[in-house]
Chain A
Amino acid sequence: MAILIEQTRLLTLSTIDVLVIAIYFVMVIGIGLYLKKFTQTGDDFFLAGREMSAWIAGLSFVAANLGSLELMGWAAAAYQYGILATHWYWIGAIPAMLFLGIVMMPFYYISKTHSVPGYLKLRFGEPSRALSAVSFALMTVFMSGINMYSMALVMKVILGWDINFSIWVSSLTVAAYVVLGGLLSAIFNEVLQFVLIWLGAILISIIGLIETGGWEGMVQRIHTNFPGGDYTHLWSTLGTFTDNPMGIHWTGIVLGLGWVISFGYWTTDFLVVQRVLSAKDLRSARLAPIIGAGFKMCVPFIVIVPGLLALAVLPTKLTGEAEALATGGHSFNEVLPLMLARYCGPGLLGLGITALIAGFMSGMAGNVSAFATVWTYDIYRALIKRDGTDDHYVSMGRWCTILGVLVSIGTAYLVMQFASIMDYVQALFSFFIAPLFGTVILGMLWKRATPAGGFWGLLTGTLASIAMWAAVKADPGVLKYIAVSPHAKDMAENMYRALWSWLICVFVTVILSYMTKAQPESELNGLVYGCTVLPKEDWVPTYKRPMFWAIVIAVILVILNILVW
C-alpha cells in the first residue's frame, strides 16, 4: 500500500511546505489555549458570550460553510459543469443570506434562543424541538465523519499521507481547540482559517488568468478545447434540460436551489445560524449575514475560476472517479491539487495545502460546536436533566464535543469499510433541510400557524422527502415524475425533491393549523411577525444600516449575473 501511495500521489511537499502546515497547527491550538480562560459560562461556551462584532460573526458565518470539500468539490463541479456551478454561490446563497439578515434575524435574536430547535420549542412546543434537535444532532456528527474521511482520502491521494494520520491529527486538533474555548475558539479560528483559505487559494486564479491572457482568453481556450459545449454561460442554457451539462431547467435552479434548498440551509441550519447568534447586538446580528453574503459572492473567484482555468489550460482531460481509476488518469475531484501543483512552488504549495486543511477544520469545528449546543440545550437539558447548573452544562458541552468528534471518527471508519453509507447519510441530511425551512418560515411570518400544524408539517415533509428519495433509488424512472421531465439528471433530483417536500410541509402545516385552535397573540410576542414590536435601533448613518448593504449586495449580484448571463 505504501508503494501504491508513493506512486499515485500528486504532490510532494518540501521542508518549507511542511513547516508552513506545522505552524498553522501550533497557531490554532495556541488560540484555543489562550481563549480557555475567557470561556467560563454557558453563554461563553455555546454562544461566544454573544459579544462578537458583525465582521467576526459574518466571516465565521461564511467560513463554517467553506469546508475543504466545498473547495475541492465545487472546483471539480466547475470543471464538470462549467460556470453553472456558480449558482450554488450566488442565487443559491446570497438572497437567503440577505433574507436571514433583514427578515429572520430579529426573531432569532430577540427570542434569546440558543439554537434553531430552541426557536421551534418557543414557537411550536417540545415535540417540534425534539424532532429537529435529534435529527440535527445525529446528522451533524455523521456528516462531520464523512467530511473527515473524504478529507483524509484527499490527503492520501494528493500527498500520500496515511489515512489514519490525517483523520486523528486533524480531528483531535479541532476537538482540542473547541473543547478549550467552545464557540469562541471555533469562531476565532474560523476567521483565521477564512483568511488562510483566501491567501492560499487565490494565487491559482491570479496566475491562471495571467497564463490565459485574462477572462476572454480563458473563455476562448475553453471553446477551443471543448467545441460544442457551453461552459461559460450562467443562465442562457437553462431554457431546457438538454442544453446544459447539468441537465437542469431554470425552474429547478430558481425554485429548488434558490428558494427551498438555499433558504433552508442558510436560514435554518444551526451550523451557520449559531455564528450569527453570537453577535453582540441586533444590528450586528443583522449585518453579519449581509457581510457574509458579500464574501460569499466572491468565493467563486477561488473555487469556480480554478475549475474553469483547468478546462482552459490542463493538457489532459479529467474524468469521473471510476474512469480515472481504470485508466490511471486524474478525476474531476483532483482539479484544485492539480492547479496547485501547476502554479505553486515551495512555500506557496504549503500555503495552498494549509488552505485546504483550514477549510476542513473550519467545517468540522462548525459541526461539533453546533452539535455540542443542540445536544446540551435541546436534548440533554430539555429531555434528560432540566435542573443542572450552568457549570454542569458547560462541562457537558466540553464532554459532548469530545463525544461528537469520536462519533465522527467512528463514522469515518465506518464509511471506510462501507462506502455506500456516505450516499445514505448525505441523503439523510438533505431530508430535513427543506421541510425545516417550511416550518420555521411559517412559524415566523404566519401567526395562525399552530403547534400541531408545525410539528406534523415538519414530520410529513421529512417523510415525503424520504419516500421520494427511496422511490428514485428503487426505480430511477420515477425521477422523470419528480423533476417533471424525462431529461432530468441526478442534480435536478435534489432540487425538485426539496421543492416538493417543502410544499408538502407548508400544505400540511396550513391545513392542520386551520383545523386546530389558534394561539393567543400574547404568546407569540418576540416570535412572530405582526405580533412583535421590534426594538428601535439607535440612529446610525445610512452606510451603517443593514438594509443599505443588503441593497448594495443585491444590486452587485444582479450585475454579476448579467455579466455572465
Chain B
Amino acid sequence: MSHRKGMIPIWFFIGILLLAYGVLILGAGIFDYMNPAAHPVVLSELHAGIWWGILLLALGGWYTLKFKPTKE
C-alpha cells in the first residue's frame, strides 16, 4: 500500500499509534476498574476503556504486522 518504493506505508504509522493508544487506554481502563472513580461516567459499569483498549491493541497490532517495513 506504500505508493513509492522504499516508503513506509501510512497504515504502519497508524498501527504504531493505535498500539500505543491501546496500551494507554487499556491500562487506564484496568486502573479505573480496580480503583473506581468517585464520580464515574455514565455506564461506567460497561468498562468501555478496557474493551476499547483491547480493540485498539488488536487493530494496531494487525496493522503494524501487516504493513511493517521489509527489506526489498
- Shortest C-beta distance, A518 to chain B (Å), equals 41
Whether B3 pairs with A347 at a CB distance below 8 angstroms is no
B38 contacts A by Cβ under 8 Å: no
Chain A residues near B28: list those with CB within 8 A: 14, 16, 345-348
Query: What sequence of 0s and 1s flags, for each residue 35-63 of chain A, a beta carbon within 8 Å of any chain B beta carbon?
Result: 00010000000001101110110000000
- A211 proximal to B (CB < 8 A): yes
For residue A346, give the distance in angstroms from its CB to the closest CB of chain B: 4
**Which B-chain residue is minimally distant from A30 (CB atoms)?**
B13
Judge whether B25 and A348 touch: CB under 8 Å.
yes
Nearest Cβ distance between residue B10 and chain A, in whole angstroms? Answer: 5
Binding site secondary structure of chain A: helix
Task: Looking at the assembled complex, report how far the CB atom of A275 sits from the nearest CB atom of chain B, in whole angstroms.
Answer: 14
Contact with A along B1-29 (1 / 0, CB 8 A): 10110011010011011101100110111
Instruction: Please give, as numbers and ranges, the residues of chain B lying within 8 Å of A545 by CB-CB distance.
Output: none
Which secondary structure dominates chain B's binding surface? helix
Q: List A contacts of B16 (CB < 8 A).
A: 27
Task: Tell me the residues in window 252-283 of chain A with beta carbons closer than 8 Å to chain B beta carbons.
Answer: 280
Which chain B positions have C-beta within 8 A of A51?
3-4
Q: How far is the CA of A313 from the CA of B43 in the complex (A)?
A: 12
Q: Judge whether B48 is part of the interface by a CB distance below 8 angstroms.
A: yes
Instruction: Assess whether B13 is in contact with A351, with CB atoms less than 8 Å apart.
Output: no
Q: How far is the CA of A199 from the CA of B1 in the complex (A)?
A: 22
Which one of A20, A341, A343 lies within 8 Å of B43 (CB-CB)? A343
A34 contacts across to B, CB distance below 8 A: 8
- A195 with B14: in contact, given A207-B48, A348-B48 (CB under 8 Å)? yes
How many whole Å from A196's CB to the nearest CB in chain B?
Answer: 8
Q: From residue B19, how far is it (CB to closest CB) to chain A in Å?
A: 11
CA distance A31 to B11 in the complex (A): 12
Q: Hey, which bits of chain A sit against chain B, CB under 8 A?
A: 14, 16, 19-20, 23-24, 27, 30-31, 34, 38, 48-49, 51-53, 55-56, 188, 191-192, 195-196, 199, 203, 207, 210-211, 280, 313, 341-348, 350-351
Chain B interfacial positions (CB closer than 8 Å to A): 1, 3-4, 7-8, 10, 13-14, 16-18, 20-21, 24-25, 27-29, 31-32, 37, 40-44, 46, 48-49, 52-53, 56
* 5 closest A-B pairs by CB: A347-B28, A347-B25, A51-B3, A346-B28, A16-B28
Some 27 contacts from A to B, beta carbons below 8 A apart, are A16-B27, A20-B24, A23-B20, A27-B17, A38-B4, A48-B3, A51-B4, A53-B1, A188-B13, A192-B10, A192-B13, A192-B14, A203-B48, A207-B42, A207-B48, A210-B43, A210-B46, A280-B3, A345-B32, A345-B37, A345-B40, A347-B25, A347-B28, A347-B49, A347-B53, A348-B52, A351-B52
